[in-house]
Structure 1
Amino acid sequence: MSSAVPRTVKAVDTSELIRLDAEAIECRLNRNHGAGWLAEFADPGATHYLWPVLVHRTGHRPEFSPHWRCMLLLTMRDGQQVFSLLDVLPTSFEDLPEGLDPATKTEVARRLEGGGLLTQAQWAEFNP
Structure 2
Amino acid sequence: MPFDQPLPREVKVTDSASLFRLEERACDLSLNSRLDPAWVRANAALDGAHYLWPALWNSLAHRPEVPRQLRCELLITLRAGDRVVSWLDVLPADFNPLPRVTSREEGMQVSQLLDRAPSVREWLLREGGGSGQQ
**TM-score of the two chains, using structure 2 as the length reference:** 0.85
Cα distance between partner residues in 1 of 2:101 and 2:82 = 23
Cα distance between partner residues in 2 of 1:34 and 1:17 = 12
The 5 Å alignment of 1:9-88 reads 9-88=11-90
Report the CA distance between 1:68 and its aligned residue.
Answer: 0.5
Match of 2:94 in 1: 92
Unaligned ranges ≥5, structure 1? none
CA deviations on 1:59-79 (whole Å, 9 max, x unpaired) are 232222421100011111111
The 5 Å alignment of 1:107-118 reads 107-112=109-114, 114=115, 116-118=116-118
CA separation of 1:71 and 1:9: change in aligned 2, threshold 3 A: same
**TM-score of the two chains, using structure 1 as the length reference:** 0.89
CA deviations on 1:57-98 (whole Å, 9 max, x unpaired) are 212322224211000111111110111111100110001123
4+ long deviations beyond 4 Å = none
Aligned residues: 126
Report the CA distance between 1:127 and its aligned residue.
Answer: 4.7
Report the CA distance between 1:99 and its aligned residue.
Answer: 4.8
Q: What is the aligned-residue RMSD (CA, Å)?
A: 1.6
Q: Which moved more, 1:5-14 or 1:102-111?
A: 102-111
Unaligned ranges ≥5, structure 2? 130-134
Identity %: 35
Report the CA distance between 1:41 and its aligned residue.
Answer: 0.8
- One-letter amino acid matched to 1:15: A
